[in-house]
Amino acid sequence: MAVAMTEKLETVYQQIKARNPGEDEFHQAVREVLESLGPVLVKHPEFVEQKIIERVSEPERQIIFRVPWQDDKGEIHINRGFRVQFNSALGVYKGGLRFHPSVYLGIIKFLGFEQVFKNALTGMPIGGGKGGSDFDPKGKSDGEVMRFCQSFMTELYRHLGEYTDVPAGDIGVGGRELGYMFGQYKRITNRYESTVLTGKGVAWGGSLVRTEATGYGAVFFVREMLAARKDALEGKTCIVSGSGNVALYTIEKLQQLGAKVIACSDSNGVIVHEKGIDLPLLKQIKEVERRRISEYAARHEDAKYLPGGDVWDIPCQIAMPSATQNELTGKDARTLVKNGCIAVGEGANMPTTPEGVKVFLEAKIAYGPGKAANAGGVATSALEMQQNSSRDSWSFEHTERRLDSIMTNIHASTWETAEEYGAPGNYVLGANIAGFVRVAKAMLALGCI
Ligand code: NDP
């Protein structure tokens, strides 16, 4: 029976691949989920009869649009904008916007697909979507970024709404970009519709803890994975890839919980600071000055900068990939395991290649996949929506406690699901199955949608 199901899944996967040519990251994300689902289909034959997998892999709607804008010299540029509204069985489409030159439909679809199951895992009423553009904010002036964001929203606004689709930030989209987009949405619609975007500034409808949420949440997840093994974060040596929003607040929470972070990176290189990263300096360079991390080593005599270095070569006990997809390969995973790494918590989306995931699972280290470990960002976005709807604003402590309990629950449900399906400690299986079953049941209940 199980073998037949595996063959059935392989056939469905090949159909999805053929239907979405050239979208490698999307194929990878679909394959990873499908590989976990064999036992679920044995238990729930109605999911097969009702073609839930075929339906859940097809976005409800995909929007692609032109984004023209003028730079400071008056030259016109044309970028491409995307919004993939993947699944609304559990609630409004929810998921971030990414501005990065590598963005194309395959990236947005992989992120949207992952988001559907991640959002289901939070237990909150949110569906999944993702969007963005191949625009590169790096090296652009504030005025250029503003004109781009205004042009992007001039098309996107018609597809959004408190009860329809609520984007947030992602790579290249932080408070500045969200501010420009919210301002344009407000002008066009003449509505102060706070709930239409999350990750807003605290002064204009944002939630405390949203900035910190993805990084903090990923650390809470790692704390729970270690606790399940009767271990703790205190005194552990950690490395974090990236130095953007997720990385900075991962470092902050690791330090608060007594761990030592000795390295982080950007797409040009790695900094190593054996005494422990000086976070106020790193934040000043990245958040205030918007400069490269090489600047950190220039200002700190104990720190080393390794241009083009691989952060995973630095020995550590805990690794937290927090930059981008497929940044941690099979070779990197083997190096980490060899160097004594006992836990990996993914702040980024799909940062580990399938070969790397296999290495972690075979080594039986605590491996928390992004779908579960980085769900704290979107969960806090949902808390922001709750505050906006009730015209309320909660304290930092209250919101952080809510985030902590959501992450603790996600850990418990992925752990229990893995046990139920005979794979104790396998959070990949636990997260894929727990998220999928929730979405599948809602889709069945809603008819042929
Ligand atoms: P930021 O733009 O704030 O930071 C991204 C960081 O990753 C930067 O240090 C950047 O370096 C590095 N990076 C980006 N692309 C590459 C690349 N191709 N190669 C090497 N390094 C790269 O983004 P976020 O911190 O918001 O997002 C990081 C990850 O976390 C992404 O995978 C995102 O999808 C995921 N995520 C984010 C959430 C959020 O709330 N922000 C929620 C859940 C997941 P450089 O400056 O050199 O480009």
Q: Are residues 251 and 351 in the same domain?
A: yes
Which residue's CA is the nearest one to ligand 1's atom 7?
A: 323
Residue 380 lies in a domain: no
Phi, psi of 93 (to 5 degrees): -60, 130
Catalytic residue, candidates 94, 130, 286, 371? 130
**Tell me, what's the pLDDT at 361?**
97
Burial of 204 (0-12, 13-18, 19+ CB in 10 A): middle
Kindly state the percentage of the chain with pLDDT values over 70. 99
Predicted TM-score of the model (pTM): 0.97
Q: How far is CA 174 from the centre of its chain?
A: 14
**HSE value, Cβ hemisphere, 13 Å, CA-based, for 283:** 12
Pocket test for ligand 1, best of 134, 170, 209 (most atoms within 8 A of CB): 170
* Enclosing domain of residue 219: 213-364
- Domain closes at, from 364, 386, 417: 364
The alpha carbon of 349 and the centre of ligand 1 are apart by a number of angstroms equal to 9
Tell me, yes or no, if 186 is annotated catalytic. no
268-290 confidence digits (pLDDT tens): 999 999 999 999 999 999 999 99
Contact call for residues 215 and 253 (beta carbons, < 8 A)? yes
Residues near 147 by beta carbon (within 8 Å), at least 6 away in sequence: 69, 70
Q: Are residues 179 and 136 in the same domain?
A: yes
Which residue's CA is the nearest one to ligand 1's atom 47?
A: 267
Residue 416 lies in a domain: no
Residue 132 lies in a domain: yes
Task: Give the separation between CA 269 and CA 271, rounded to whole angstroms.
Answer: 7
CATH number of domain containing 46: 1.10.285.10
208-253 confidence digits (pLDDT tens): 999 999 999 999 999 999 999 999 999 999 999 999 999 999 999 9
Instruction: Please report the atom of ligand 1 found closest to the CA of residue 102.
Output: 18
Q: Are residues 145 and 110 in the same domain?
A: yes
The alpha carbon of 49 and the centre of ligand 1 are apart by a number of angstroms equal to 39
